[in-house]
Amino acid sequence: MTYLFISDLHLSPEHPRLVRGFLDLLTHYQHQQTNLYILGDWFNAWIGDDYSAPWLDEIIVALQRFTQAGNQVFFLVGNRDFALHHVFLNKFQGQLLPEITTLNIAGQTIRLEHGDLLCTDDVSYQRFRKIIRNPLLLALLRKTPLSFRLQLASGFRKKSHAAQQFKSYEVMDVNPQAVEQALANVDILIHGHTHRPAIHTLGNKQRIVLGDWREHDAQILEISPEQPAALQLKKWSY
């Protein structure tokens, strides 16, 4: 059994190379009995499970082949695709995880999350997050026309990009106290969001930050309980 962790792919029709890299990943791991964990920001924006397009259909077909081969796909939402829900995942027997999920692999307790909740110094983002994740607001948004949601997502991306230009790296990175709290009852914390792939050792514990997908490669994590070894990020090129 292989446990594969990826994050921050930001797939979209505007970046076909990233889409191809994900499809190649599914093909590569299809016959390895793989549990694939996608820790948020799978897509650059998700406007609703009723959205469809040829590029997305290709991904769905590849995921169907992947799960039909005996593999599993698990997803927890990120800040770009928090509206993704069961309707989409059911198309290929994917499973939606809680925003904070705990696993036990080879006797180690592992906490999974996207990572944005750890960035507590970014007060304006955390405030916006509480508003936009309100279940009532999400329910209302799902009932609006697809064209409206498409414009709304585009506006959010532009505002987010503009806001980041005026924030320091420290503000947008994880808060040490938030990390300490997240690690309190686990051995390993795995997350994405910050786009700063690294393995941090904190005493006898580890914080593993997955990489965002760039034009040619990404930093992913593969854990094989049958062959225990020091955890290392793996470069996935496409």
The domains of the chain, with CATH numbers, are: 2-237 (3.60.21.10)
**Residue pointed to by tokens 């990404």:** 218
Distance (Å, whole) CA 74 – CA 78: 13
Distance (Å, whole) CA 94 – CA 26: 14
pLDDT in tens, the chain (238 residues): 999 999 999 999 999 999 999 999 999 999 999 999 999 999 999 988 999 999 999 999 999 999 999 999 999 999 999 999 999 999 999 999 999 999 999 899 999 999 999 999 999 999 999 998 998 988 888 888 888 887 877 776 666 665 666 566 566 799 999 999 999 999 999 999 999 999 999 999 999 999 999 989 999 999 988 765 578 999 999 9
- According to the model, what pLDDT value does residue 13 have? 95
Cβ count within 10 A of residue 176: 12
- According to the model, what pLDDT value does residue 152 have? 78
